Amino acid sequence: MDCGRVRTLVHRYCAGEENWVDSRTIYVGHREPPPGAEAYIPQRHPDNRIVSSKYTFWNFIPKNLFEQFRRIANFYFLIIFLVQLIIDTPTSPVTSGLPLFFVITVTAIKQGYEDWLRHKADNAMNQCPVHFIQHGKLVRKQSRKLRVGDIVMVKEDETFPCDMIFLSSSRGDGTCHVTTASLDGESSHKTHYAVQDTKGFHTEEDIDGLHATIECEQPQPDLYKFVGRINVYSDRNDPVVRPLGSENLLLRGATLKNTEKVFGVAIYTGMETKMALNYQSKSQKRSAVEKSMNVFLIVYLCILISKALINTVLKYVWQSEPFRDEPWYNQKTESERQRNLLLRALTDFLAFMVLFNYIIPVSMYVTVEMQKFLGSYFITWDEEMFDEATGEGPLVNTSDLNEELGQVEYIFTDKTGTLTENNMEFKECCIEGHVYVPHAVCNGQVLPGAAGIDMIDSSPGPGTREREELFFRALCLCHTIQVKDDDDVDGPRKSPDGGKSCVYISSSPDEVALVEGVQRLGFTYLRLKDNYMEILNRENDVERFELLEILSFDSVRRRMSVIVKSATGEIYLFCKGADSSIFPRVIEGKVDQIRARVERNAVEGLRTLCVAYRRLAPEEYDGVCALLQAAKVALQDREKKLAEAYEQIEKDFILLGATAVEDRLQEKAADTIEALQKAGIKVWVLTGDKMETAAATCYACRLFRRGTQLLELTTKRLEEQSLHDVLFELSKTVLRHSGSLTRDNFSGLSADLQDFGLIIDGAALSLVMKPREDGSGGHYRELFLEICRNCSAVLCCRMAPLQKAQIVKLIKLSKEHPITLAIGDGANDVSMILEAHVGIGVIGKEGRQAARNSDYAVPKFKDLRKMLLVHGHFYYVRISELVQYFFYKNVCFIFPQFLYQFFCGFSQQTLYDTAYLTLYNISFTSLPILLYSLMEQHVSIDTLRREPSLYRDIAKNALLRWRVFIYWTLLGVFDALVFFFGAYFMFENTTVTSNGQIFGNWTFGTLVFTVMVFTVTLKLALDTHYWTWVNHFVIWGSLLFYVVFSLLWGGII
């Protein structure tokens, strides 16, 4: 057989050729393709059963135990417990087994209950009825029995039971509206489009007669991406091929709105749906405190091993004399005498390990978990962080990082929607150098005569009037807005034409502002009907344009285009986008005048867009159409091919003009940034906006001040100088003013040093991050970081989403390893939110992807101030005290046991009673420290809010440094010495009571234990600054419980 043929087959079936591994073929209605069309390959797919539970009835115990014993602490205590069972140890296995059993049981009950709730929810979902078409009739069956290829009917307000391709709807234009609140939290209505060739099938019989196959990508979790194509077979064998994208895909979990019914074909079912693939949790983030805690545990483990070794050696030194090794009252048996010395030594070492193992407390992990979980409610209960306007409060998506909020050194914030309101208002437009300003809007009401135009510059000539109207038509046509004649919609926007109410719905507030603005200038966008866009011109005539193609907006191109055909048959390509993406593609128009106006508006902090157009001849349009169709039906690299096609199409433009939209600064954004800087936190703004607009916003929110010297590392400057020269020049500037020493991270606002602000753009950052040919790319990065460290604020503009994450990662992995926080409100901020140590989503107008992927979510940027300076401060101080106190009280607990061995011949005799060993960490001393770590306020909330600089006192893990750790450990050793020798010297001359009863070792041990319990509890009482009735009840109640228990246990009562 030919080797080339073998290689082809191997590649086809093993290496992932397009039609084999990377895509799947679905037969609509399970109908085979016509003979000769293509081979019919039956494919196996999972049923529609959703399984979100982790356990079953049979595997719960083994699987849960396996997961729990993967934790180092639990595994360690299991080993200790097994050692106690296997060898003759001084303490009962109960002393280790009972606390471990308690921790394991409580965790298992909690996880079992949570999983039972998941099972219950799964069953409700899997058994809900679904309508599907079988032999031309509507049949009802349970959701779990649905299969890939079934044709499903969904009615209004029902939830889609699987991921399905939208075939047809009850609406004539083949559209439907859905909400995806349960998927991404967005409650706004999204429009989806039926396949062009099937949208006319409205009855069950029509749909059942459909003969088609769908080729699409294998399941993947991205909710906003889908690539596929449908082959529709008619009487003849040549199929009609149509591209399928995310606009044709209806996702499981989404709800049908404002549409009577839709038909669709199931393509992903059960655990392959995008909703199920998104169940998997984000990568686990660990806090600095948790890392410190693990290091301290290792130190204590070393101390434990050292104690056991010392006692083992001293035991054999002590027993080197025969009368000590074998006293007359404890003769050894013959088998004991003949035992291997090494084996005896190992047994003794393990016995000492068991005796001293309480220095590592199993209950600390449970207490820390409970403190984090219960403490997180203080954020969600905070009424000051509740936003009345939106009805939203703060959310905690993970409680593992509470204390990290008190350690933040760098904040990376988005601009639009985070620092600003994302509430756009059309300010002006510039056409051919002439400026147009619509009449003002006062409190949402348009003033009389709003259709007029205020001309600022000289009146336009007749030629300009044609361009002017073309500009207004471009703004009316170049968008993706949906029109709804209904007020009862999320975020209604009334059109300002007096009587009629018209709601514009769009994922972008900019688009709505532009369409509303141009409406006040005389051109009104009416609707999209039967693929025709209708606009009302100044003469109140309706103009109809056929919508031929939409070249969607993306953050890389930074522009969008539409191709439309006018009633006279002329074909136009209208394009709008950022000036940096439009100007290089313009061949005609008044570029200089418009550029000057754009730059002026940007300096004033307005968001600007440029508008251009190009006429297409019919043959040109045919070429464009073929190019787009080839890219759209590709299953492999569709996005790349579309980007290349867009690049070829969007060129040779005639510039029409530019628009300016204002996005107001959020309430108290400036005060928040000022407070954060006083707290020693460096704030960086990462935005996709142009430099001038972003810089104006930075001045408005006081990130840059009047005295701040701005340093630029931008593409414009790099055109004049090399990157190497610019970086060295900037480095010399900042180091000269800071006395050639890198200034402290927290000296951003010091009065005696010059404040620097750095501005860098995306293109310059790419050059900094790019490795050089000689492999020394890291040198530029280090130089860049050195400059950034000496700047009080940094503005990164023209940033792509991935570059935002790169910046965060660069700072996060720098040699100081600072704690980073990223905050944003849009899908483009998700990558940096996931990259930072702490990610915060703003519940804004750009959907909820950011809030859904974040660790915490807040309604407004101003809430960050209280979250860090108050809640973060308290969380860190409380958990630091909890960890140190736990180690302290366990040193107090176990060190007397170590000292006691010197007085009992290293015989592994326990100092304390078994009940005391077991209950010390579980009952006698656990509740006071838990309540302390939840309620303590060493300074008042008002003081923390008023004095942001107090945040610096706890920076860089200040309360869990080695010096503090050693202090607490030595304090525990000192207290243990006092307990032990205090009791020892008290008993030195008094061994008999007045009634002749002899004091024994248990009396001695109980005395030491009693003094210890009272001391460690009263130590906590002395450290408490903020007393409530709960503290009093728990502290004095714990001591009372111990006294009552001791009396009962000792048999006195």
Annotated catalytic residues are: 414
DSSP state of 440: P
Between β-strands 586-588 and 255-257, what pairing exists: parallel, antiparallel or unpaired? unpaired
Q: Name the one residue in this structure whose structure tokens are 């390959």.
A: 41
- In eight-state DSSP terms, residue 31 is P
Burial degree of 808 (CB within 10 A; 0-12, 13-18, 19+): buried
How far is the C-alpha of 546 from the C-alpha of 528, rounded, in Å? 9
Q: Give the Cα separation of 183 and 853 in Å (integer).
A: 12
Residue 144: closest CA among 52, 48, 53 = 48
CA distance 904 to 896: 12
User: Which residue matches tokens 């060739």?
Assistant: 197
Query: Scanning the structure block, which residue is given the tokens 């994208």?
Result: 245
Bridge-partner residues for 314, per DSSP? none
Maximum pairwise Cα distance, the chain: 125
* Token code pair at residue 964: 């503090």
For residue 73, give every residue at least 6 positions away whose Cβ sits within 8 Å of its Cβ, in sequence order, or none.
297, 360, 362, 365
Rounded CA-CA distance 918/925 in Å is 12
**Within 10 A of 169 (CB to CB), how many other CB atoms are there?**
24
Give the residue among 696, 709, 695, 705 at the shortest CA–CA distance from 673: 705
Tally of CB atoms within 10 A around 336: 10
Which among 794, 837, 793, 780 is positioned nearest to 812, based on CA atoms? Answer: 837
- The dihedrals phi and psi of 824, each to the nearest 5 degrees, come to -160, 175
Helix axis angle, 873-900 to 926-935, nearest 10°: 160
Query: Around Cβ 156, how many Cβ atoms within 10 Å?
Result: 15
In the chain, count of helices (H) and strands (E)? 36, 37
To which H or E segment does residue 740 belong?
none
2: region left, alpha or beta (phi > 0 left; psi from -120 to 50 alpha): beta
DSSP per-residue codes, 145-191: G--TT-EEEEETTPBPSSEEEEEEESSTTSEEEEEEHHHHSEEEEEE
- DSSP annotation string for 219-265: P-S-TT---EEEEE--SSS-PEEEEE-GGGEEPTT-EEES-SEEEEE
CA distances (Å), 952 to each of 287, 290, 868, 930, 958, in order?
A: 18, 20, 12, 26, 9
- E-state strands within 530-652: 532-536, 542-554, 559-565, 571-577, 586-588, 607-616
Determine the Cα–Cα distance for residues 323 and 339; give it in Å rounded to an integer.
19
Short-list 433, 559, 394, 426, CA closest to 496:
426
